[in-house]
Chain A
Amino acid sequence: MKRLLAAALATSALTATPLMAADPAAVVTTYADIAAAAYGDSLTTAQALQAAVAALIAAPSDSTLAAARTAWIAARVPYQQTEVFRFGNAIVDDWEGRVNSWPLDEGLIDYVAPDTATNEENDLAALNVIATPKFTLSGVEIDATEITPDFISGILHEADGIEANVASGYHAIEFLLWGQDLNGTGPGAGNRPYTDYAAGDACTHGNCDRRAAYLKAATDLLVRDLEDMAAAWAKGGEGRDAVLADPQAGLLTMLTGMGSLSYGEQAGERMKLGLMLNDPEEEHDCFSDNTHNSHYYDGLGIRNVYLGRYTRVDGSIVSGPSLSDLVAARDAGVDAELKGDLDASVKALKAIVTAAEGGLAYDMMLEPGNAQGEALIMGAVDALVKQTGAIERAVATLGLSKIAFEGSESLDNPGAVFK
């Protein structure tokens, strides 16, 4: 498989300008360094969240709940910048569903408002495991008396094979900190009271001890999962070794992640579809109303990978030889266009952040007939679509081919690709 890919690349290299400047091995090393730093930052900010959650559970109050929410929002900043490592790195793709699955049928986890737990394809959409220590899953009796990280990851997450049964990760924790946002496309986020974690008679909505146990277990699980991924990109880690072992394939992985996140995922699934459905549940961080930031840092992550430069949460910078250098050495015009497009999409996503911080939350932008919201969202969608075209040009400029890669993985008759 590898050999075929190498052969394809060698063929195209014969016709392309010889490469003098940046070296693919150095470029993928920068990529791995950024992954290690961004997953590392995701881990430390999740550990800070873990401490804030412990403080909330120990002494529930408005201020400990607010501190936990602030820690969650801070944890999203580095994590969203890692999303660009999806869609190509097998180790990330196999793992990601545990930490950032969305959208979710939150009625699986805890109480929800009447008539909001509808999913015709999910019998568990209204399970409410916090209130239900024992239940039946596909004919099997489940004992959920003790809510542990292993119970969440091994039994409840994606139960019944249904993706909407999201039991773990950032959005499950988000739901437990904010609760449902019942304001539709009007102002306001989820408004879970801190008394949902209170002891004795002060407890609201019942089962506060089990709710606290769930929140703790889900947060511990997130930290554990992020430890795994940070290690995978450190020296000797599986993710790092995979891209370093074959730098040309690594370059294609980088560009495939950039393009897939830009187009199908961000512009399509997360932004345009939600707008066209006018559905406030179609916003990515729907409980906390933090969607503007999640989208923005996704966009920033895409640019980080191309420019080979990531700003850590402590303000220090990780940088090195970049894809941009490599593309520029072959075709300065393609590089300039892509850099311009990346700047434009980051700017368009920033405009959404500015509007949201000014009071026009992302779910309000989704309201039917909200022309300003639609213009903001479509401005970012259009910028992301445009940059996808430039990413395709960069793929071609470097003599890479998604078909050669896919062919090496799955075609029945791969020899035909290169004859």
Chain B
Amino acid sequence: MRWILAAALLSATPLHAGVPEALARIGKGYQTFAAATADLDTAAQASCEGLKPAFDTAWDAWLHVAQIRIGPVEDDGRALAIAFWPDPKALGAKAQRALLTGDPAALDPERFAEHSVAARGFSGLERLLFPDAALPADPCPLIRATTHDLARMAAGVNADWPAFSDKLAYPGGPGNTTYLTDLEAAQALLTQLASALEFTADQRLGRPMGTFDQPRPERAEARASGRSLRNVVEVLKASRDMALDLHPEAPQTEAAFARALALVDRLDDPTLGSVATAQGRLKVEILQNAIREARAAILSEIAPTLGVGLGFNALDGD
């Protein structure tokens, strides 16, 4: 990895400042994610009890790279399956009920990989480890199938990343029509950051906030495992780090992230349940605004310095 980056720095096309650092961080993040999901799977195959620590470590590792929605995570619907949320029609729970009570052969690894993305990944695992109602059957076989599937996907992403990373590192290189210039590579990474922050503000906080008259605390992500706020924190830290990789001298961006993280520290509300009260909801709304300001700072400070715009992202539809 390091050797490849060094070679790139010597090549004819100079890499855009910050892009190699960001790519290196992502690569390292995928390695950690692959290792953490492998550990989780090893633990689950040994026992379906006491998985919370390994589950938390693995989910944290995912959140450190979850903002990247280009490259191998997009193959075979991996990113969708790894963390399928939100799921307003409860498609995941429905598919899992069928798996819990159906033919055990459906849990074989090859077949499991073909199942609906809603039934798999961290969201699926959370419903089995922290059920809100009695499950119709012993969940252990499905837990093991799910951790195995997660580790398989993470290993695949990790294995496939270097080839994709090279496309960003060597824009316009032989056979690389995905990214033609260093500006396009930098813009692609910046766009990922911006949309991750948009998703966090609009969905991770916006969904439980609901409306002033009708807050929806039950809609928070990862509520059952008590990780709703932690997911926000991990995304914020990872986004800050990558933003500063792209451009280290970004005082407005740094300050905006520091402010958002300080607000998180004061919340002391792991499941965001406080949105149910007017005062609690207001505090979450202030955090939501702070996250939007961090995104705005990236766009107003880092983007023009890099000379790039904002590309299209998965949130552009309705």
Contact = CB atoms under 8 A, between A and B. Distances in A.
Interface of A: 86-87, 97, 118-122, 160-161, 164, 259-266, 268-270, 272-273, 275-279, 368-369, 388-389, 391-393, 395-396, 400-404, 406-407, 410-414, 416-419
A269 B80 CA distance: 11
A164 B90 CA distance: 14
- Nearest 3 A/B pairs, CB to CB: A265-B317, A264-B316, A276-B77
A118 B300 CA distance: 43
B299 interface: yes
B219 A259 contact: no
A122 B218 CA distance: 13
Interface size class, chain B? 35 or more
B311 A264 contact: no
A260 B300 contact: no
B66 interface: no
Nearest to B303: A403
Contact of B114 (A260, A369, A393): A369
A270 B318 CA distance: 10
Q: Taking each of B81, B118, B216, B318, which has the highest tally of chain A beta carbons within 10 Å of its own beta carbon?
A: B318
Contact of A402 (B91, B180, B309, B317): B309
Given A276-B116, A279-B116, A402-B310, A260 B316 contact: yes
Interface of B: 77, 80-81, 88-91, 94, 114-118, 178, 180, 183-184, 187, 211, 214, 216, 219, 252, 293, 296, 299-301, 303-304, 309-318
B90 A391 contact: no
Contact of A413 (B211, B216, B296): B296
Contacts of A122: 88
A401 B309 contact: yes
B316 A87 contact: yes
Nearest to A388: B312
A407 B300 contact: yes
A120 B88 contact: yes
A134 to B, nearest CB: 23
A334 B116 CA distance: 38
14 contacts: A118-B89, A119-B88, A161-B211, A264-B314, A264-B315, A264-B316, A268-B317, A269-B317, A275-B77, A278-B115, A393-B184, A400-B309, A403-B310, A417-B303
A277 B296 contact: no
A48 to B, nearest CB: 28
A137 to B, nearest CB: 12
Given A261-B317, A263-B312, A164 B187 contact: no
Point out which of B180, B293, B316 has the most chain A C-beta atoms below 10 A from its C-beta: B316
Given A161-B211, A276-B81, A411-B299, A368 B115 contact: yes
A291 B91 CA distance: 21
Nearest to A411: B296
A164 B312 contact: no
Given A119-B88, A276-B81, A268 B314 contact: yes
B317 to A, nearest CB: 3
A407 B178 contact: no
A269 B315 CA distance: 9
Contacts of B293: 412
Contact of B301 (A260, A270, A416): A416
Contact of B314 (A97, A263, A416): A263
Contacts of A395: 309
Given A260-B312, A392-B311, A279 B81 contact: no
